[in-house]
Amino acid sequence: MEEKLIRGKVIADEIIKELHTEVSSLREKSGKTPGLAVVLVGEDPASQVYVNSKEKMANSLGYHSVKIVLPIDSSQEAVLAVVEELNNDPAIHGILVQSPPPPQIDEEQIILNINPKKDVDGFHPSNVGLVFTGAEEGFRPCTPAGCLELLKRSGVETKGKHAVIVGRSNIVGKPMASLMIQKGVDATVTICHSRTADLGAEIRRADIVVAAVGIPEFITGDMVSEGTVVIDVGINRVDDASRPRGYRLCGDVDFESVAPKAALITPVPGGVGPMTIAMLMTNTLLAFKRIENIG
Ligand SMILES: NC(=O)C1=CN([C@@H]2O[C@H](COP(=O)(O)OP(=O)(O)OC[C@H]3O[C@@H](n4cnc5c(N)ncnc54)[C@H](OP(=O)(O)O)[C@@H]3O)[C@@H](O)[C@H]2O)C=CC1
Ligand SMILES: Nc1nc(=O)c2c([nH]1)NC[C@@H]1CN(c3ccc(C(=O)N[C@@H](CCC(=O)O)C(=O)O)cc3)C=[N+]21
């Protein structure tokens, strides 16, 4: 089974190493440092884990890193005020507002108010549009960009291949499709969602499956053909009293039944998750270079 694994954690560590070299040399040349701000509204424990690991990674790269935790009952105006402050802060090059925010917050309006040049998540419509049209200047959303990088660095051919994406969220499914149809990537793409008539039939036709459904172990072996490359974006916490933390992490793919049929497969944890963070650091460096006009 070992040789089938796409080790996202290992590939992410390679990317971080590459970034480290570049950041160090830019710092020597310019005396400046990339700055990343992560905004969290409320203290949801799962979000805390991601936000903390983003902060840890930023620190290990020597980025200037700011974490802003707002009370769970914050008003829209309070969040907007923080975004505005970060937009105007010359030490900050990347801004991320952790999704999803609590229900009283209008996320769309928050995203619209992030300076697109600091939108390292790639969620602002201006970046969505730039990426969709294939323009160079856009920021690619971190999770889809991470999936693509995994395919590339694992030597998976995408040209002319049939990619089936399960999920149509603005964070994962849609931007994944947008990246996979780009010239140079050249996949033929099918997007599936909860109203897809026969999901198994669609997935069985895939050369590459990207699962972003949000249901633990939802995609099972009977839905997948022999030799499929499987990218599991899902990160689910499932109660498990036998574990030290009282839960285990699993993907949207049932690893046990799918892995034997897959040509390659990403594990959870240690697959797409660490790549998301590596791409966030990549986008932050890119924002820094563009804003500071260096590199
Ligand atoms: N590794 C990482 O870095 C990241 C991981 N994630 C994880 O990825 C997963 C997906 O996240 P996200 O895209 O935000 O989730 P959303 O809940 O926003 O989207 C889920 C999508 O799956 C579709 N879906 C739901 N049920 C079915 C079904 N029975 N058959 C087919 N499609 C279905 C939904 O369809 P419809 O639109 O019709 O409702 C929707 O489009 C989650 O597990 C999340 O935790 C997310 C972001 C980053
Ligand atoms: N504005 C915004 N941008 C995001 O990119 C964003 C977001 N909101 N909201 C939540 C999702 C989820 N997400 C993850 C990132 C890393 C791991 C990760 O590193 N996971 C580890 C395990 C971590 C653990 O132990 O829980 C792994 O898969 O190996 C997981 C999930 C980013 N997201």
Mean pLDDT across the stretch 106-128?
Answer: 98
Q: 88: which 2 tokens?
A: 């105007």
User: Are 156 and 250 members of one domain?
Assistant: yes
Alpha helices (runs of H) in 88-213, residue ranges in sequence order: 107-112, 125-132, 142-153, 173-180, 199-204
Q: Quick check: is 77 in a domain?
A: yes
User: Are 106 and 151 members of one domain?
Assistant: no
Is position 182 annotated as part of the catalytic site? Answer: no
Specify the residue with its C-alpha closest to ligand 1, atom 42.
214
Neighbour tally for 50: CB within 10 Å? 18
Give the residue numbers spanning the domain of 107.
31-116
Task: Give the CATH number for residue 252.
Answer: 3.40.50.720
> Which of 166, 169, 236 best tests ligand 1's pocket when mutated (most atoms within 8 Å of CB)?
169
Q: Quick check: is 129 in a domain?
A: no
Q: Quick check: is 20 in a domain?
A: no
User: Are 170 and 47 members of one domain?
Assistant: no
User: Are 91 and 178 members of one domain?
Assistant: no
Instruction: Decide if 138 contacts 122 (C-beta within 8 A).
Output: yes
Q: How many structural domains does the chain have? A: 2
pTM score over 0.95: yes
Q: Helix 8-30 and helix 272-292: axis angle, to 10°?
A: 20
User: Are 147 and 111 members of one domain?
Assistant: no
Q: Quick check: is 2 in a domain?
A: no
Task: Give the CATH number for residue 62.
Answer: 3.40.50.10860
Which of the following is catalytic: 117, 118, 119, 121?
121
Q: 286: which 2 tokens?
A: 């890119």
Predicted pLDDT of residue 1? 57
Q: Quick check: is 137 in a domain?
A: no
pLDDT, tens digit (0-9, with 9 covering 90-100), for 146-197:
999 999 999 999 999 999 999 999 999 999 999 999 999 999 999 999 999 9
Is position 121 annotated as part of the catalytic site? Answer: yes
User: Are 247 and 178 members of one domain?
Assistant: yes
What span, in angstroms and rounded, lies between the C-alpha atoms of 284 and 262?
Answer: 34
Cα three-residue angle 280-56-48, rounded to 5 degrees: 85
Q: Quick check: is 24 in a domain?
A: no
pLDDT, tens digit (0-9, with 9 covering 90-100), for 40-99:
999 888 888 889 999 999 999 999 999 999 999 999 999 999 999 999 999 999 999 999
Q: Quick check: is 292 in a domain?
A: no
DSSP tally for the chain: helices H, then strands E: 10, 10
User: Are 170 and 232 members of one domain?
Assistant: yes
Ligand 1 binding pocket (C-beta < 6 A) is 143, 166-169, 171-173, 192-196, 199, 212-215, 233-236, 252, 272-273, 276
% residues pLDDT > 90 (the chain): 95
User: Are 89 and 153 members of one domain?
Assistant: no
User: Are 211 and 260 members of one domain?
Assistant: yes
pLDDT, tens digit (0-9, with 9 covering 90-100), for 15-38:
999 999 999 999 999 999 999 999
H/E element holding 15?
A: helix 8-30
Residue 194: CB partners within 8 Å, gap ≥ 6?
Answer: none
Specify the residue with its C-alpha closest to ligand 1, atom 8.
234
Q: Quick check: is 278 in a domain?
A: no
Phi, psi of 60 (to 5 degrees): -65, -25
Is position 261 annotated as part of the catalytic site? Answer: no
For 11, the 3-state DSSP assignment is: helix
169 annotated binding-site participant: yes
What span, in angstroms and rounded, lies between the C-alpha atoms of 295 and 285?
Answer: 10
The residue from 116, 131, 154 where one domain ends is: 116
8 annotated binding-site participant: no
User: Are 86 and 156 members of one domain?
Assistant: no
274 CA to centre of ligand 2 in angstroms: 8
User: Are 157 and 269 members of one domain?
Assistant: yes
Instruction: Decide if 108 contacts 101 (C-beta within 8 A).
Output: no
> What is the ipTM, given to two decimal places?
0.98
Atom of ligand 2 nearest to the CA of 9: 29
User: Are 175 and 237 members of one domain?
Assistant: yes
